[in-house]
Amino acid sequence: MRVLITGSHGLIGGALAAALRRGGHEVTPVVRSRLPGPGEAAWDPKEGTAGAAAMEGHDAAVHLAGAGIGDHRWTRRYREEVLASRTRGTTLLATTLAGLDRPPAVLVSGSAVGFYGDRGDESLTEDDGPGAGFLAEVVRQWEASTAPAEEAGIRVVHARSGVVQSPSGGALGRLLLPFRLGVGGRWGSGRQWLSWVHVDDEVGAIRHAIENADLRGPVNVTSPNPVRVGDYARALGRAVRRPALLPTPTVALYALLGRQMTQEMMLGGQRVLPAKLQASGYAFRHPDLDEALGDCAGRG
């Protein structure tokens, strides 16, 4: 199988590319370079250009590129960058794939459970509509940007990922050190829901979506066992054998992240269930949080 990947140097893209190569598949990274190396395809979302010839003849495309939502404070300018990096890049890739003589059969496009907004204790599946807030609006427009590929007959899957658990980076990568030092704990009330997924299952779910022709549209990529933030903090404490008793004051989060980012990313939450993945037969490798965090802590 030949697979195009944007964002192949990121946390998820790097893990996916490595897993595919170990399985004997050919990976073509889509890179921002005017001089792509052997086996690479070039694109520039800001300029609206893409090397279509190098994208011909692939079986699947996976789109994971975009500015990190949690990488910077949500200034007006950075919010615009986050939205543009997703809509502009996705539109460019979808349009380019749609115009190929030999397009891929499937495009798995990154997405997020932020689509659902802060929904309290409500159990959410792919049948539920969007919530309110900046993240929900970003994801709504992000997913809509794949329309050119869908109109060309390419099967499109929107992988609505939860918080990916990996010792190599992301949220857990930032939490491991303070928890190992014994200064970790819940944030906010600890009652808000956290929908999470081990990086192995993130990769496994994407591969499952590529190979399963019945999957299309939104697919929640989360463990079947979401947890409350307080339970997550206690589980991480157990994984690193340290107490998790020091809550992060909300005022400190406001000072560090700003009010809007704190409200949507830290104090809000979603209780998301992977209904489509489970119905399609995907078997999770790490459905239990204690086991998943223990595995990550052992690797990191």
Q: Which residue, 32, 34, 25, 24, is CA-closest to 8?
A: 32
Q: Hey, where are the domains in the chain?
A: 2-299
Give the pairing of strands 227-228 and 193-194.
Answer: antiparallel
SS3 content of the chain, % helix, strand, coil (to 5): 45, 20, 40
Q: What is the mean pLDDT of each run of 10 residues along the chain (300 residues)?
A: 96 97 97 87 94 97 92 90 95 98 98 96 97 96 98 98 94 92 94 98 98 97 98 97 91 87 91 98 98 90
Give the fold, CATH level 3, of 2-299. Answer: Rossmann fold (3.40.50)
- Which pLDDT score, from 0 to 100, does residue 70 have? 82
- pLDDT of amino acid 300: 59
- Give the torsion through C-alpha atoms of 13, 18, 20, 24, to 10 deg: 160
Cα separation, 147 vs 81, in Å, equals 21
Express as a percent the part of the chain with pLDDT over 90.
Answer: 86
pLDDT in tens, 227-239: 999 999 999 999 9
Residue 171's identity, in one-letter code, is A
Q: How many CA atoms lie within 13 A of 183 on its CB side?
A: 5
In the predicted model, what is the mean pLDDT of the chain? 95
Q: What is the pLDDT of residue 37?
A: 86
Question: What residue type is assigned to position 201 of the chain?
Answer: D
DSSP E strands, the chain: 2-6, 26-31, 41-44, 49-50, 60-63, 106-112, 123-124, 155-161, 163-165, 193-194, 196-198, 217-221, 227-228, 271-272
Identify which of 63, 69, 94, 97 has the alpha carbon closest to the alpha carbon of residue 81. 69
Q: Which residues pair with 59 in a beta bridge?
A: none
Percent of the chain with pLDDT over 70: 100
